[in-house]
Amino acid sequence: MKDIFDYIKGQDKSFKEKGFTEADAVILSTMANLDMSDFYREGDKMKLSELIGDFLSVTPESEAVELRFLKALRDSPRYGNIEVSDVVHEISKKDESQFGAMVFHLPEAPYIAFAGTGTSVVGYKEDLNMAFMDIVPSQTQAVKYLNEVAEDLPGNLIVGGFSKGGNLAVFASAFSRDDIRERIKTVFDHDGPGFSELITNEEKFKEILPRVKSYVPKASIVGLMLNNEIKPKIIESTAPPIAQHQPYSWVFDGDELLEIEDLSKTSGIFKKLQQVLFDETSEKDRKSGINALFDILTGIEPDDFMELYKKGFGIAPAFRKTWKNAEDTTKKEVKSLFKTLTKTAFKSLRKKD
């Protein structure tokens, strides 16, 4: 079975020689998820190989799969010569917002790709805010970004993204200016979370749905969050269930992703868990519990979940100190959140379809 690296290695034709494929969409969405903003010369188009080369020149060698992916793109005759522009990546603690995007200039149509969450604590907080907010700041930013970059782009447009980036791609396409929305040919949503009912009931959202192509791995968790009116293509992954969200494990079949018939039991259990959780809690309770949890996490200091992961049990003293100094109401809300999650887990496992 071929993975993303096998596919990239096997591509020796330019986009002029071979048109845009389903596989290309996954690869470019994955690329947009990596923060290259510090190495982009604002206002310029840069070759992807040059942008990646500048990043790698100051990045320590490691076995990280992301570095392997970047090197494969840099050295690829198909992908390395793509010109990119409008590379942005912004994090705002104040607005609880994390946003990233870039434009890939292709002969068929520009591919406007939005970034997913990454590893920032702020980014994860914004994701969880979707449990009680109809619209989060990065969605508003995505609409603004699409409207602005599309003005300088010719003809049809392709929009896409991975994880939260898939959500942003659909949202921005649906609520972009009418003249821009008409130019959007296809929207690619790679395992992105869904939306509130307020959004899915909007006529503009319904209008864009026929142009959306959605993909979820067989043990999808993120792609089944909230409401999603789009019937996804279920794809094969070689990773354990908890790790299938990352596209590096997705299986390629020619120029497409390998489709399978059904979601796994793990994915079904999570979907039931989410349904019961939303049935058992109010929007107010979800908001207070999530805010209280992140009050504790932000008090530990690291802004990146990878820092927390690397420290492991080393964060225990900082956690105890933050917990000790937290307001009684914050402690109460965190305890209530975990009590609800535990109760919900048992109920969802007992709940029959």
Question: The domain that contains 204 carries what CATH number?
Answer: 3.40.50
Number of domains in the chain: 2
Output the pLDDT for position 323.
Answer: 54
Question: What 3-state class would DSSP assign to 108?
Answer: coil
Q: Which of 241, 263, 285 is the last residue of a domain?
A: 263
CB count in 10 Å sphere of residue 41: 12
Q: Is the pTM value of this prediction over 0.85?
A: no
pLDDT tens digits along 288-324: 666 665 555 555 554 544 455 444 444 455 555 555 6
Same domain, 74 and 169: yes
Output the pLDDT for position 320.
Answer: 59
Burial annotation 134-150 (CB, 10 A radius, 16+ → b, else e): ebbbbbbbbbebbbebb
Residues 6+ apart with CB under 8 A from 144: none
Same domain, 334 and 197: no
Output the pLDDT for position 303.
Answer: 52
Domain housing 309: 272-350
Same domain, 173 and 259: yes
Same domain, 296 and 159: no
State yes or no: pLDDT of 202 exceeds 70: yes
Same domain, 244 and 299: no
Q: Which of 263, 287, 306 is the last residue of a domain?
A: 263
pLDDT tens digits along 56-115: 999 998 889 999 999 999 999 999 999 999 999 998 778 778 899 999 999 999 999 999
Same domain, 243 and 324: no
SS3 for 173-225 is HHHCCHHHHCCEEEEEEECCCCECHHHHCCHHHHHHHHHEEEEEECCCCHHHC
Same domain, 340 and 257: no
Question: What 3-state class would DSSP assign to 56?
Answer: helix
CB count in 10 Å sphere of residue 240: 10
Same domain, 145 and 188: yes
Q: Which of 219, 239, 263 is the last residue of a domain?
A: 263
State yes or no: pLDDT of 20 exceeds 90: yes
Output the pLDDT for position 12.
Answer: 95
Same domain, 35 and 145: yes
pLDDT tens digits along 249-271: 999 999 999 999 988 877 777 77
Give which of 181, 97, 84, 105 is closest to 141, Cα–Cα. 97
Same domain, 246 and 325: no
Same domain, 81 and 188: yes
Lowest mean pLDDT among 91-100, 211-220, 329-338: 329-338
Length of the chain: 353
Same domain, 201 and 291: no
Do 27 and 94 touch, CB atoms closer than 8 A? no
Residue type, 294: F
